[in-house]
Structure 1
Amino acid sequence: MNIIAFKHFSFDDESAITAWAVRQGHTLYVLTPSDLESYPNSDAFDMLVILGGPMSVYEEERYPWLVEEKRFVRRCIDEGKPVLGICLGAQMLSDVLGGTVYRNDRKEIGWHEINRTADRHPSLENLPETFVSYQWHGDTFTLPEGATRLAYSEACGIQAFAYGDNVLALQFHLETTPACIDEMLNTWSSEIVDAPFIQHPSAIVAQADRSKTSHAMLCGILERLATTVGAV
């Protein structure tokens, strides 16, 4: 199976996804939307992963490449391909499905508790009812019509939603590695302020080993989404 991952900033770390793909015998192609002159043909890939980024999906004037990326994502959904959106990717899925993305009144930065809703979805079968994941976001979004809310946190009412069996949006970062966390804390240190849902860097780094558990949860999600290839 061929998988495309959209990467939106240089030090994002897709290694957990790459490791899963290698173990499963899949091929992962990492593309940077801002550098693309054209997007892949539908027959060139089977699954799409949209990673995070520091931009907002509504900043099309500042990042004009967002227009084509969103058009491509919508096409993937319409064609029934499995699509996983993470953070910016989740917000993009809300946007292209008719939801609204906007600035939340509080940022979440650090390791925060997430609760599943009563609604079930096959892709989240391996996740406990309550778990902790890394977060770094200031935007949030509304639930698109026809979507199912799957998770929430104290600071963010929608942490995950599904649109059918093959489209999944995750606001949280199960893919994050300790190295990426260190770089985020260094590069975006100005965002670390005294606020209820922003943890001190020392508290964030002290919990970096949680990434091992996060990667295991992510692998389960990817594996279940992969089973939907060709289902639509």
Structure 2
Amino acid sequence: MTDIVILTHIDYCHPGHLARVLDEAQLDFSVLRVDLGELDGLDLDRPKAVAIMGGPMSVNDPLPWLQTEVAALQHFIRRDIPMIGHCLGGQLLAKALGAQIHKMPYTESGWQTLERTPAAAQSPWLSHLPEQFDIFQWHGDTFMLPDGAQPLLRNPWCENQAFAWGDKILALQGHPEMTEELVRQWLGDWSHLLDPSEPSQQSLDTMLSNLQQRVRDLNRTAEGFYRHWLAMMAA
């Protein structure tokens, strides 16, 4: 087992660009499928940094492995190690910190613009970003803010898009890890679940328009998050 652990929950929500960043930095990492029981038996005192990826399930689903994962995250919180959560991963961090997760009245999907909250002015997690930027979204649940959290990002569809907790935890509602291949895979397999007549959802054509440039911009956004996460590991 390596010092960097990535928790995943289904085959098509893999680390994406995060894996590229770690490979380019020549950092070893382990990817575990929590839904397949691969978190069982992990020495929870070993990891020095943890990333939690997305998935189609809800944090509130009655799945025993979700309870196992939340308990593991609470152990990592007590150890004060750097963690970054993506979509479901951000919701799992919120739950581990005692916050509620609830279903929204609509799905938010596509390239959505986020803006900083007033509380985010000095956040090191956002030091590489402008006041507004786009991120890829696909979620129907959202998290409330845990006690002591610093709200970082918001937009009209989802008031709580990101929060920091302490110095080393970042929970994101969006998907900064997306690659061009992953966007095309999701849209090829799951676009029938979307309803572009809803204002919170984009059409397939809109999501694929200028995709290469959109992903390049998203990669830069992700890299800033990941650099700070890794810097916290070394601190």
What is the match of residue 221 of structure 1? 225
Task: Return the alpha-carbon distance in structure 2 between the equivalents of residues 94 and 113 of structure 1.
Answer: 22
Task: Return the alpha-carbon distance in structure 2 between the equivalents of residues 75 and 223 of structure 1.
Answer: 23
1:42-64 C-alpha deviation (Å, 9 max, x unpaired) = 343210000010000000x2x22
What is the match of residue 91 of structure 1? 91
Q: Does 1:115 align with 2:118?
A: no
Is residue 123–residue 224 contact of structure 1 (8 Å, CA) maintained in 2? yes
Is residue 13–residue 177 contact of structure 1 (8 Å, CA) maintained in 2? no
Report percent identity of matched pairs: 31
RMSD (CA atoms): 1.6
Task: Return the alpha-carbon distance in structure 1 between the equivalents of residues 211 and 41 of structure 2.
Answer: 35
Q: In structure 2, the residue corresponding to 1:162 is in which secondary structure?
A: strand
Quote how far apart the aligned CAs of 1:39 are.
4.2
Is residue 39–residue 72 contact of structure 1 (8 Å, CA) maintained in 2? no
Task: Return the alpha-carbon distance in structure 2 between the equivalents of residues 214 and 182 of structure 1.
Answer: 15
Task: Return the alpha-carbon distance in structure 2 between the equivalents of residues 216 and 222 of structure 1.
Answer: 10
What is the match of residue 40 of structure 1? 42
Quote how far apart the aligned CAs of 1:138 are.
0.4
Task: Return the alpha-carbon distance in structure 2 between the equivalents of residues 189 and 109 of structure 1.
Answer: 10
Task: Return the alpha-carbon distance in structure 1 between the equivalents of residues 112 and 19 of structure 2.
Answer: 25
Quote how far apart the aligned CAs of 1:197 are.
1.0
What is the match of residue 74 of structure 1? 74
Task: Return the alpha-carbon distance in structure 2 between the equivalents of residues 169 and 141 of structure 1.
Answer: 9
Q: Does 1:195 align with 2:182?
A: no
Task: Return the alpha-carbon distance in structure 2 between the equivalents of residues 81 and 140 of structure 1.
Answer: 24
Quote how far apart the aligned CAs of 1:8 are.
1.4
Is residue 10–residue 35 contact of structure 2 (8 Å, CA) maintained in 1? no
Closer, same or farther: CA 39–211 of 1 in aligned 2, 3 Å: farther
Counterpart code for 1:192: L
Q: In structure 2, the residue corresponding to 1:211 is in which secondary structure?
A: helix
Task: Return the alpha-carbon distance in structure 2 between the equivalents of residues 75 and 169 of structure 1.
Answer: 17
Is residue 123–residue 222 contact of structure 1 (8 Å, CA) maintained in 2? no
Q: In structure 2, the residue corresponding to 1:19 is in which secondary structure?
A: helix
Task: Return the alpha-carbon distance in structure 1 between the equivalents of residues 106 and 28 of structure 2.
Answer: 38
What is the match of residue 52 of structure 1? 54
Counterpart code for 1:172: G
Counterpart code for 2:47: F
Q: In structure 2, the residue corresponding to 1:158 is in which secondary structure?
A: strand
In the alignment, structure 2 segments of 5+ residues that lack a partner are none
Aligned length: 229
TM-score by length of 1: 0.93
Task: Return the alpha-carbon distance in structure 2 between the equivalents of residues 30 and 208 of structure 1.
Answer: 27
